[in-house]
Amino acid sequence: MANFSIKKISKKFDITIENIASDKSISHRCAMFALFSDKTSYIKNYLTAEDTLNTLNIVEQLGAKIKRDGSSVEITPNSKLIEPEDVLDCGNSGTAMRLFCGLLASVDGAFVLSGDKYLRSRPMKRVADPLRAIKAQIDGRENGNKAPLFIRGEKNLEAFTYISPIDSAQVKSAMILAALRATNVSRYKESELTRDHTERMLKGMGAEIFTDDEGFINIKPLTSHLKALNMTVPADPSSGFFFALAAAINKGSRVVIKNASLNPTRIEAYIILQKMGAIVNFIEKENIYEPIGDIEIIGNELNGVEVSKNISWLIDELPALAIAMSLAKGKSLVKNAKELRVKESDRIKAVVDNLKLCGVNYTEFEDGYEIIGGNLKSAKIDSFGDHRIAMSFAIAGLVSSMEIEDVDCINASFPNFKEILDSLYN
């Protein structure tokens, strides 16, 4: 179990980052969605991290031929998906496990999805229950709530009209993937728009998906194969956000993140930094599957903020925002974020436990926390095996030295994080 120490930085920095990790959410989807075509998909800048490589391995186990040259990937599907001989290992990725539940629910065969000890402790009934309601056969520990999950694919899943009780892009994506092979048009509704990569990418491949006047996403079942993908995965704005935070908490410092997704459902955390006082500019360059461009962040004096809306758009960035809140003037409040309890760790507990070690005044709630801004003291931080906790407090080390315990989890999502962090000192 590796640790590393971060020393306080003693200067302003001005850096353009062109090697931010590729977008993990889009990389996972590229690998999976290629299975809906009968032609070879060509994907550039695929994220070569443990979790996304696990997804490629699963796609290969399902019969696709994979050719990989660094971050360039060719995926040639088999004429039909095959029943794998072994367990499908999702590593630490909830995205992979939940989306594969939807994808495999309508595929003839038996499939077992598992992952590391952290993933095996995460709740899966949020996906399993709505899928089982349309005749999918999914079981696992705690009546299908915990992995390993066993799926017996059903060829004729029922069409559905489903209003989701939780706003989750993973649940939505799983249901959309199942709907592509259902018996008729299916309808899905969420109270707040969550990340829409699935809808955008599948529509770009030719799927008939549209939102009606009642706010339901309508998904027509496929009558033929989809077009192959031919795309370059943009830089991950969630990964880039750690370095946006680095600039924001070091007044006068500047970071430019190149070629990132500018999807509105992915840049809300940058908008919050902007509301707190940081200077943030978005420069769009293209918009095919996704809007893509550069993000400029310049550090400035920060003030407290309330975060209670569009939570699903910034759920992953809330631990990093907690660092900005701890250094801002005044009080900050996060609420309506109970979903943080069931991420790679209980991120509410992980954030406040570590803030306590750093001498920050806070109040914990079931669905968030209040933070009194001021100073962060140096501390030894427990990552709880969660990459976002580890990286958030590593960035905090730029203003007050930190030692981060159990950093192996970072390699699963952002292999060159430490390399970029070290470059700020040059």
Quote the DSSP letter at residue 300: -
94 marked among binding-site residues: yes
122 marked among binding-site residues: yes
152 marked among binding-site residues: no
Q: What is the length of the chain?
A: 426
β partners of residue 295 = 257, 282
347 marked among binding-site residues: yes
261 marked among binding-site residues: no
170 marked among binding-site residues: yes
Catalytic residue check, 316: yes
Other C-beta atoms closer than 10 Å to the C-beta of 197 total 23
What is the C-alpha separation between 96 and 240, in angstroms, rounded? 21
In this structure, the strands spanning 88-89 and 110-114 are: parallel
254 marked among binding-site residues: no
67 marked among binding-site residues: no
What is the C-alpha separation between 108 and 84, in angstroms, rounded? 11
List 294, 316, 382, 386, catalytic entry: 316
Tokens 């893509």 locate to: 292
Q: Which two tokens stand for residue 194?
A: 């969550």
Q: Which two tokens stand for residue 384?
A: 């709880």
* Letter string b/e over residues 16-55, b meaning 16 or more CB atoms within 10 A of that residue's CB: ebeebbbbbbbbbbbbbbbbbbeebbbbebbbbbbbbbbb
388 marked among binding-site residues: yes
Task: Indicate the SS3 state at residue 67.
Answer: strand
29 marked among binding-site residues: yes
25 marked among binding-site residues: yes
Q: Which amino acid is at 109?
A: G
Annotated binding site for phosphoenolpyruvate: 24, 94, 122, 170, 347, 388
Annotated binding site for 3-phosphoshikimate: 24-25, 29, 168, 170, 316, 343
Annotated binding site: 24-25, 29, 94, 122, 168, 170, 316, 343, 347, 388
The catalytic residue positions are 316
